[in-house]
Amino acid sequence: QSVLTQSPSVSGTPGERVTISCSGSGSNIGSKSVTWYQHVAGKAPKLLLYSNNQRPSGVPDRFSGSRSGTSASLAITGLQSEDEADYYCATWDDSLNGWVFGGGSKLTV
């Protein structure tokens, strides 16, 4: 059972907009910024967003993030087949004194 809760799966068609949600509590999302990762099987996880909504160099602006209270969300616009992957939210948890991940959301395009 993950500390952060994500929907196991989400799907969309090319060009569509999808959102992936991540729910936590006051000791994690409620007090610390959220990170999002994209993970394609067999490859290293890729940092997608940090500090809730900041994109590292090279990440397209089709990817955006937000945080409100104890929840966060990742939005992907202009869905492409190459976006098919597992997406994880993560953040620091003050009660556990450690990083926690969501269970992951499998995006099917």
Q: Nearest distance from residue 32's CB to other proteins, in Å?
A: 6
When the beta carbons of 24 and 102 are compared against other proteins, the nearer one is: 102
Q: Is 37 in the site for other proteins (CB under 8 A)?
A: yes
* Residue 29 bridge partners (DSSP): none
Q: Is 88 in the site for other proteins (CB under 8 A)?
A: yes
Which DSSP state fits 8? Answer: S
- What is the rounded (10 degree) CA torsion for 22, 28, 29, 34? -80
Q: Which two tokens stand for residue 73?
A: 């969300």
Residues 6+ apart with CB under 8 A from 68: none
Q: Is 80 in the site for other proteins (CB under 8 A)?
A: no
If binding means CB under 8 A, how many residues of this protein chain bind other proteins?
27
Binding window for other proteins (CB under 8 A); candidates: 12-20, 59-67, 76-84, 95-103: 95-103
Burial of 13 per CB tally in 10 Å (0-12, 13-18, 19+): exposed
When the beta carbons of 51 and 80 are compared against other proteins, the nearer one is: 51
Give the binding site for other proteins (CB under 8 A): 2, 32-33, 35, 37, 39, 43-47, 50-51, 56, 86, 88, 90, 92, 96-104
